[in-house]
Structure 1
Amino acid sequence: MKDASAEILEAQVQSAVEQRREIVNAAIGEELPVEDPERLYEAVRHLLDAGGKRLRPTVLMLIVEALADVDADPTDIDYRNFPDAHGEPLDVMSAAVSLEAIQTFTLIHDDIMDQDDLRRGVPAVHRAYDTETAILAGDTLYSKAFEILIEADAPADRVVEAMDVLATTCTDICEGQALDMAFEERTDVLPDEYLEMIEDKTAVLYGATTAIPAILFGADDETVEELYQYGIDVGRAFQIQDDILDLTVPSEELGKQRGSDLVEGKQTIITLHAREQGVDVDELVGTDDVDAVTEAEIDEAVARLEDAGSIDYAKDKANELVTSGKDHLSVLPDNEARDLLEGIADYLIERGY
C-alpha cells in the first residue's frame, strides 16, 4: 500500500507527464510518419503507438522550461519555437522525439534478445511482424533519431555537441547490455561493477535526456554537467527500483512472472548484496525455467533476501541516488518545472507497475 504522500506525488507527476504526453504524441506523428515501405514504418510505430509514459520527453521539456524560467500551462507553450538562452527559436520537440526514438529502438532490440512476447500490453515487434523486420525497425529508429535531432534549429556547434552526446550514449547502452549479459556467467560481480553497468545500460539515456536540452538551449558547461549528473543518478535509481519491483510486485501487475530476473540468473544490486551476506543466490529457486517457478518459491526466496537485508540495501541505495540527483538541480532557477523534476526523481523510486 502506498502512503498518502506517495499517492499525492504520483498524482502530481502523472499530471505533468499526461499534460505533455499528447504534445509528444502529436510530434511523433509529425516526425515519424508511416510512409513507404509501409510495413517497415508500421513496425517502427508499433510500440510508439502502443503507449508509454513519455517520461524522458517530459523530463527534456521540463529542463528547458526550468532553464527559461517559464511557468505556464504546457498547452500554451510553443515547443517548436521555444526561446533559447539568447531569445532565438529552438525546436524542443525534435529533441524530445529523438530521445523517445532511441528509447524505443532499445526496447525492440531488448525484446529480440530476450525473446519476450509482450511489450506495453501488445505483442513485441518481432512477434507482431518478424525478427528481420523488428531489427530493421530498431535500426531505423536509431538512425532517424539523429536525423530528427538535426532539426532542432539550434546553432550548428550546439547541434554537433548534442549529437556527440547522443552517439556516445548509444555506444554506452550497447556496452552496458553486453556487460549485463556477461554478468550472468559470473558469481564474483561487485556492487560497484553493477552500478557501472546500469549507468551504461539505463542511466546514460536519462543523462542524455537532461544534458541535450541544456546544450541546445545554450546553457553553460557547468549547468550542462550538473543536469547530466541528475539524469545519471535518477537513471540508476530507476533501474534499482526495477530490480526491487521484479521481486515485490505480484505477477499480474508486473505483466510477467515475478522474480524472473532471479530465475534467469540476472545480477542485480539485491543478489550481489545477498552473496556478500553468504546467501547462495543460485539455489534460491529450484529452477531456471521462468514458466516452471512457483509463487511459493519466489515468496521463500524474497523472504531470504529480506532476512539478509538485501532489499532494504537496494532501497537505501536508490534513495541515496535520488537525493544526490536532486542536489544537482540547484543550478536551475527555483520554479515549478524544477519542483516537478524533483518530484519525478522521487516518483522513480516510489512508483509501482
Structure 2
Amino acid sequence: MTTSKAREETVLEAVRARRELVNEAIPEELPVQQPERLYEASRYLLDAGGKRLRPAVLLAAAEALADVEPLSTDYRSFPTLSGEEIDMMDAAVSVEVIQSFTLIHDDIMDDDDLRRGVPAVHREYDLETAILAGDTLYSKAFEIMLETGADPSRMVDALDVLATTCTKICEGQALDVTFEKRDNVAPEEYLEMVEQKTAVLYAASACLPAILQGADQETIDALYGYGLDIGRAFQIQDDVLDLTVPSDKLGKQRGSDLVEEKQTLITVHAREQGVDIEGLVDTEDVDAVTEAEIDDAVAELEKVGSIDYANETARDLVEQGKNRLSVLPDNEARELLCEIADYLIERSY
C-alpha cells in the first residue's frame, strides 16, 4: 500500500516534470512585448512559480485518454482519438494563464500583500497596472487556446468551456464577497461557492483534453465532474492549511481567512455548533494577529470537530472524483490522476 508521504513524492515528481515543460512554454506563448511594463506585470506571478497543478491535470488527462505512456509524447503534436495532432501544451498554458488572472484580481479585492512568497502584483507595480495585467491574461488565455489547432467544432466547444469557466469564477467570487456580510451561510452554499470560484477551473482542465481530442460526451462529463470534486476538495484543504501551516511556509499570514472573517467550511460548521467566530480573534488586522491567538482559535475549532468535518468532506469528494475516472483506459496516467486527487487533500502547503 502506498503511504501518504510516498504518494506525495510521486505526485510532486510527476507534476514537476510537467511544470518544467509548462514553464518553458509560458514565455513562448506570453512574451514580454510593448508596453513592457504591462507584460512584465502579466508575467510576474507566472514567473514567480506555482505548482502548475491545473496544467498537470490537463496533461495527465490527455495522456490517459490517448492511452500513451506519460511524458512520452510531444505535447506540441499530441494525438487525438481520430488521428490528427493538436498542440495540447497551448491548452495547458491557457488554463494556467486563467489561474494567474484570477489570482491578480483576487489579491486586489482582498488587498493582500503577498502571493507565492513575493509581493502581490498591485504591490510590486501599482493598482492600475495590476488590473490591466489581469485583464490581459484573461484575453490572452483565449488567444492561446485558439492556437491548439483542434478541429473547429471542438475548438468552439473548448472556448465555450473556457468562457463559461471564467464567468463562473466571477460568480463564485461575488458569492464569496456576499458571504463575508452574512453569518448564516450553510455548508451547501459554501460548497456551491467554491465550486464556482475554485473548482470549475480544475473541471475545465480535466475535460478540455477530452473535448479537444474528440471524446464522447460521457467521458467529457465524467472528467468535468472529477475536476469539480477534486477542486472543491482542494479549496477545503486550503481552508485547513490557512489555519494549520506556519506563515513562512504558506507564503502569507497564517489565519488570515479567520481574521478577515471569510466564510470557510470550517467556520460555517463551527457556527452551527454555536461557536462565536468573530470572537475567536481580537483584531481585524492581519498584520496584528499573534500566533498564540491563532493557536487558541484552532484549538476551539478542533474542539467542536469543525476541522475534522472539513477533512472528512474533502476525503469524500476526492473518492467521488476518483470513481468518475472509470471512463478512462486503465493506464499509468489515469493512476496519476487518482494520485493527484489524493495529494490535493494530503498536501501540507
Scaled to the shorter chain, the TM-score interval is: over 0.9
SS of 1:189's partner is coil
Aligned partner of 1:333 in structure 2 is 329
Aligned partner of 2:200 in structure 1 is 204
- AA in 2 matched with 1:185: K
Q: Does 1:263 align with 2:259?
A: yes
- AA in 2 matched with 1:8: A
CA distance in 1, matches of 2:299, 2:16: 37
CA distance in 2, matches of 1:15, 1:161: 32
Higher deviation after alignment, 273-282 or 321-330:
273-282
Q: Does 1:237 align with 2:226?
A: no
TM-score (norm 1): 0.97
Aligned partner of 1:106 in structure 2 is 102
SS of 2:297's partner is helix
CA distance in 2, matches of 1:323, 1:110: 29
1:190 to 182, 186, 189: 186
2:295 to 299, 305, 308: 299
CA distance in 1, matches of 2:147, 2:289: 49
1:204-223: CA deviation from partner (whole Å, max 9, x where unpaired):
00011011111001010000
- AA in 1 matched with 2:4: A
1:90-145: CA deviation from partner (whole Å, max 9, x where unpaired):
11011111101100000111111111122122221111211111111111110010
Aligned partner of 1:52 in structure 2 is 50
2:15 to 14, 17, 20: 17
Shift in Å, 1:255? 2.4
CA distance in 1, matches of 2:55, 2:218: 22
Aligned partner of 2:75 in structure 1 is 79
Identity %: 70
Higher deviation after alignment, 27-36 or 217-226:
27-36
Aligned partner of 2:285 in structure 1 is 289
Is contact 2:15–2:51 with CA below 8 Å preserved after alignment? Answer: yes
CA distance in 1, matches of 2:37, 2:203: 33
SS of 2:281's partner is coil
CA distance in 1, matches of 2:286, 2:40: 31
CA RMSD, aligned part only?
1.0
CA distance in 2, matches of 1:119, 1:303: 27
1:115 to 102, 111, 115: 111
TM-score (norm 2): 0.98
1:247-279: CA deviation from partner (whole Å, max 9, x where unpaired):
111223222222111111111111111111111
Equivalent positions of 1:118-157 (< 5 A) are 118-157=114-153
Q: Does 1:94 align with 2:94?
A: no
Equivalent positions of 1:245-256 (< 5 A) are 245-256=241-252
In structure 1, list runs of 5 or more residues that go unmatched.
Answer: none
CA distance in 1, matches of 2:108, 2:277: 27
SS of 2:64's partner is helix
1:272 to 268, 275, 298: 268
CA distance in 1, matches of 2:246, 2:47: 27
SS of 1:291's partner is helix
Is contact 2:117–2:252 with CA below 8 Å preserved after alignment? Answer: no
CA distance in 1, matches of 2:119, 2:270: 35
Is contact 2:80–2:213 with CA below 8 Å preserved after alignment? Answer: yes
Shift in Å, 1:295? 1.5
CA distance in 2, matches of 1:108, 1:152: 25
Aligned partner of 1:27 in structure 2 is 25
- AA in 1 matched with 2:202: Y
Aligned partner of 2:66 in structure 1 is 68
Aligned partner of 1:38 in structure 2 is 36
- AA in 2 matched with 1:295: E
1:177 to 165, 173, 180: 173
CA distance in 1, matches of 2:55, 2:37: 26
CA distance in 1, matches of 2:21, 2:115: 23
Q: After TM superposition, which residue ranges in structure 1, 4 or more long, deviate above 6 angstroms? A: none
Higher deviation after alignment, 310-319 or 50-59:
50-59
Is contact 2:242–2:250 with CA below 8 Å preserved after alignment? Answer: yes
- AA in 1 matched with 2:191: L
1:11-59: CA deviation from partner (whole Å, max 9, x where unpaired):
1011101111121111111111111111111111111111111111111
Aligned partner of 2:215 in structure 1 is 219
Is contact 2:116–2:251 with CA below 8 Å preserved after alignment? Answer: no
Q: Does 1:346 align with 2:342?
A: yes
CA distance in 2, matches of 1:166, 1:224: 14
Higher deviation after alignment, 232-241 or 204-213:
204-213
